Amino acid sequence: MIYLDYQASTPVAPEVARAMQPWIEDKFANPHSPSRGGHEADAAIEVARKQVESAIGLKGGSVAFTGSATEALNWALKGTAEKGRDRRNRIITVATEHAAVLDTCEWLSERGLEVTILPVAADGRLDLDKLAEALDDRVLLVAVMMVNNEIGVTQPISAIAQLAHENGAAMLCDAVQAFGRFDICEGPDLVAISAHKIHGPKGIGALWMRRGHEPAPLIHGGGQERGLRSGTLSPALCVGFGVAAKLAQERCTRDHDHVQKLWRAAQEALGSGWIINGSVHHRYHGNLNIRREGIDATRLIADLRDIAFSLGSACASGSGRPSHVLKAIGLDYREARSSIRLGFGRYTAEQELAEACQRLTRAAVEQEKLHA
């Protein structure tokens, strides 16, 4: 199997698996209990927290662990609305955000919050003038992702945060696809991340919160995570997340250079006839979302079962809905149906990527011949 679905999830780093092992097999004490084992587990969690905070690199805040980035985003949006809705009652977000943001905003709008969803240009970028026009003194929160999970396009997060702050609003950044690949931009007050996108385990995410911007708790109970997010933490998952974050930080340049090499190799091997969806320049180059006139991407997936890649037209959040992102950048139904997403990174070999791309093009040409 050639694995080209890095935006969906990344292979667990061997260093991560090794570090988690003792916390799965032997060290089972509750990290919140006062026993010696409990203290040891708690200390390991605090090391992991520091590792994640250091990889985020922002000052003036701290991280709370969550069960996923989806939970972190739900918490950030609902908890901020809960805390501030007497003062301000509007949220601004963008049409290409992840379902974890858009569906939560819809849920909030059904409960009386005013939600503005800004469009993007054909390259997938937000027009800052449109954001400036939309902002007013009723806006509580502006939520924009740093790197899009479907098309890899980046947004100018610091400029967005500055505009939000000038209007007295806070800023939430979904940095799930950016964390470990780019430096997290200065400016956001809340940042959501996920371990399984950086070669860590599934089932753990985190919310970085600037001091004073902690959302109201969503999950009540034992008062863990400073009373902000109750529930017994998993030392194994926290340790795995910490090691994955440390590795990503240490290997940042090396991983980046490797991805640049893969990006060039993929395009060379694909040859002509493919169009890149979204901006080529304002983009994470480990995401190649492409389309080809007239082909049926579902058939490509069926023809090439030993290559793991995603349909461009299916919403990458796993909801099975059609892609709201491709629609937002102006693609029609046929163009969306002829789109695929190739995602690669640290453990992708140049050779296997080139082979997969050549086979993709051959299969696409076969389809074209059938329709000619």
Is 102 or 364 the residue whose CB approaches ligand PLP more closely? Answer: 102
Q: Which two tokens stand for residue 234?
A: 């998993």
- Minimum CB separation of residue 26 from ligand PLP in Å reads 27
Bridge partners, residue 5, by sequence = 343
Is 205 or 217 the residue whose CB approaches ligand PLP more closely? Answer: 205
- Minimum CB separation of residue 69 from ligand PLP in Å reads 3
> Could you list the residues that contact ligand PLP (CB under 6 A)?
68-70, 98, 100, 145, 149, 174, 176-177, 194, 205
Q: Contacts for 13-18 with beta carbons within 8 Å, 24 or more apart?
A: 13/199, 13/200, 13/243, 13/244, 13/247, 13/346, 15/243, 15/247, 16/199, 16/200, 16/201, 16/240, 16/243, 16/244, 16/247, 17/240
Is 51 or 310 the residue whose CB approaches ligand PLP more closely? Answer: 310
Q: Which two tokens stand for residue 235?
A: 């030392």
Strands laid side by side in the 61-66 sheet? 61-66, 205-210, 190-194, 170-174, 139-145, 90-94, 114-118
- Minimum CB separation of residue 244 from ligand PLP in Å reads 13
Is 140 or 146 the residue whose CB approaches ligand PLP more closely? Answer: 146
- Minimum CB separation of residue 85 from ligand PLP in Å reads 24
Gyration radius of the chain's alpha carbons: 21
Q: Select which of 173, 185, 315, 357 is catalytic.
A: 315
- Tell me what percent of the chain is helix, strand and coil, each rounded to the nearest 5: 40, 20, 40
Is 176 or 307 the residue whose CB approaches ligand PLP more closely? Answer: 176
Characterize 336-346 residue by residue with b for buried, 16 or more Cβ atoms within 10 angstroms of its Cβ, and e for exposed.
bbbbbbbbbbb
- Minimum CB separation of residue 176 from ligand PLP in Å reads 4
Characterize 177-206 residue by residue with b for buried, 16 or more Cβ atoms within 10 angstroms of its Cβ, and e for exposed.
bbbbbbebbebbbbbbbbbbbbbbbebbbb
Is 270 or 316 the residue whose CB approaches ligand PLP more closely? Answer: 316
Of 76, 116, 111, 114, the C-alpha closest to 94 is 116
Concatenating the DSSP letter of every residue in 209-239 gives EETT-PPPPSS-SS-TGGGTS-S---HHHHH
- Minimum CB separation of residue 272 from ligand PLP in Å reads 30
Quote the CA–CA distance of 313 and 308 in Å, as a whole number.
15
252 is catalytic: no
Which residues are the active-site residues? 315
